Amino acid sequence: MIVTLITITNIIITFVIIIFVTDSFLSRLGNQNIMSINKKQLTQLQDYLWELPKETRPDMLVPARVYALEELLDAILNDRSLEQLVNVATLPGIVKASMVMPDVHEGYGFPIGGVAATRYPDGAISPGGIGYDINCGVRLLISDLSYNKIKGRIEELSKEMYRQIPSGMGKGGFIQLSAKKMEEVLRKGAAWAVEEGYGDPLGLEYTESNGCLPEADPSKVSEQAKKRGRDQLGTIGSGNHFVEVGRVEKVFDEAAAEAYGLKPDQVTILIHTGSRGLGHQVATDYLRIMMSAMPKYGIQPPDRELASVPFSSPEGQDYYRAMCAAANFAWCNREVISWECRKAWSNVFGKAGGKLRLLYDVAHNIAKVEEHVVDGEKMKVIVHRKGATRAFGPHFSEFPEAFRHIGQPVLIPGSMGTSSYVLAGTDESMASSFGSTCHGAGRRLSRRGAKKQVDAAQLLRELKKRGIHIQAGSHRGVAEEAPIAYKDVNLVVETVHQAGIAKKVVRLRPLGVVKG
């Protein structure tokens, strides 16, 4: 009994010491280099590009750049996103510049809308530069039908999609993965859904990285993460995730639209979700690991949320392989949701509805090893995109032949009451922004702030009058994602179009939205 008490006492003392040391270390991190950014500190390089020079703060290794038309700057300066951008410029091994897109807003560690590249193989990798929802991304299905053929049945279609696609916080789907099946999903990605009959084999070619990162290692994903993902394939979750029926409202580039298979008034389905609880747990697990590992590598970031380790370190490699596995889960998830969309479509329209084809699927929360030209030298880098979309230009060998000459489709969702866009990647994005562009409208109000300002019932009535049918699990979710909570997506897209890091192809108008 005495031995047991001594053992327990020793454990408690050890635990208290660990907490004390960790808190002391983290407090030092959290209190370093606190500053606020104002407009006077920004140098305007172009109408759409601003810079905080490397001299803005002594610990910056590169400049910090902001893509934004001036009309968007006030909203961007309203939160800590540019302070976070400066912090990112201190990452070990960072090259060229830390960057944010015009949809930027404050996030965890990195601002959402952030892009940063570090030298391969010893530059930093940071979970904050990918985010909790690993491989949150967007895919667009396109139909053979025009709006006039279905305009009287939008509400019916929206309700059927809500029935077929599980949505909401923690909501599970019809697939229950065994341990063996989970390993297969984490290794194979979207191909698993195709093999199991829940996907279109032709769609893999139209998915970024063909829907699978081969570096994935399921053994680096915790059992808790796997448990959280066990029943979440084919589900959209909550927050800003959705499935949206829309139509092509305007064509800006006829040649690109034709190559993508898009035409005026065509009905489309946009899917926006990621790796669900599994990806969130992977981020949580490895943030803890990196917090503990940083002192070993002499890394002391200016913000505890910017935890990072060398990419080549054991911790860096373990995280990267787990992140790849979570990314594969997300691609598989969107493939299964596409199957559910096709089922709903068929239930409503039958054979007359034709097929729903995949235009493209692209991630906007991910880290990838890529080759880019930096200061005239081609080099391998670890590109972090957090709330930023890959936007590779023409002739990339991964692209399907049909649009290889145009460039990668870039999918930019708006909010449920505003437009979404299809853009095309460009050579300029490869030269200027590590092949990256914006990912959406970007929040202007916090979720709490939106709830204070929005009457959800009234908003639903107003949207219905405009021909937009919302199917949602709660009024709270509708209020949090109200159009006024977001920046003007038209200005965001105009910024990247003027900057040349993506070009406008078509604008989509929402007709029906399924939300958690």
Reported as a single tens digit per residue, the pLDDT across 458-515 is 988 998 999 999 998 888 888 888 888 888 999 999 999 999 999 999 999 999 999 8
Average pLDDT over residues 262-289: 98
Question: Which helix (H) or strand (E) covers residue 386, if one does?
Answer: strand 377-386
Whether the predicted pLDDT of 21 surpasses 70: no
pLDDT at res. 363 = 98
d(C-alpha 258, C-alpha 367), whole Å: 31
pLDDT at res. 447 = 84
> 137 phi and psi, to 5 degrees?
-160, -175
Residue 364 one-letter amino acid: H
Question: Which helix (H) or strand (E) covers residue 158, if one does?
Answer: helix 154-164
pLDDT at res. 171 = 77
The residue annotated as part of the active site, out of 272, 364, 372, 439, is 439
Q: What percent of the chain has pLDDT over 70?
A: 93
**pLDDT tens sequence across 104-158:** 999 999 999 999 999 999 999 999 999 999 999 999 999 999 999 999 999 999 9
pLDDT at res. 34 = 52
**pLDDT tens sequence across 481-490:** 888 888 899 9
**pLDDT tens sequence across 415-431:** 888 999 999 999 999 99
Q: What's the sign of the alpha-carbon dihedral 209, 210, 215, 219?
A: positive
**pLDDT tens sequence across 179-237:** 999 999 999 999 999 999 999 999 999 999 999 999 999 999 999 999 999 999 999 99
Q: Residue 439 catalytic?
A: yes
d(C-alpha 233, C-alpha 190), whole Å: 11
**pLDDT tens sequence across 82-95:** 999 999 999 999 99
Instruction: Report angle CA 108, 112, 115 to the nearest 5 degrees.
Output: 110
Instruction: Report angle CA 133, 136, 139 to the nearest 5 degrees.
Output: 165
Whether the predicted pLDDT of 11 surpasses 70: no
d(C-alpha 383, C-alpha 169), whole Å: 30
Whether the predicted pLDDT of 8 surpasses 70: no
For residue 352, the tally of other CB atoms under 10 A from its CB is: 11
> 194 phi and psi, to 5 degrees?
-65, -45
Note if the bond before 166 is cis, omega within 30 degrees: no
- Quick one: tokens of 202? 């032709």
Query: What's the chain's Rg over C-alpha atoms?
Result: 23
Average model confidence (pLDDT) across the chain: 92
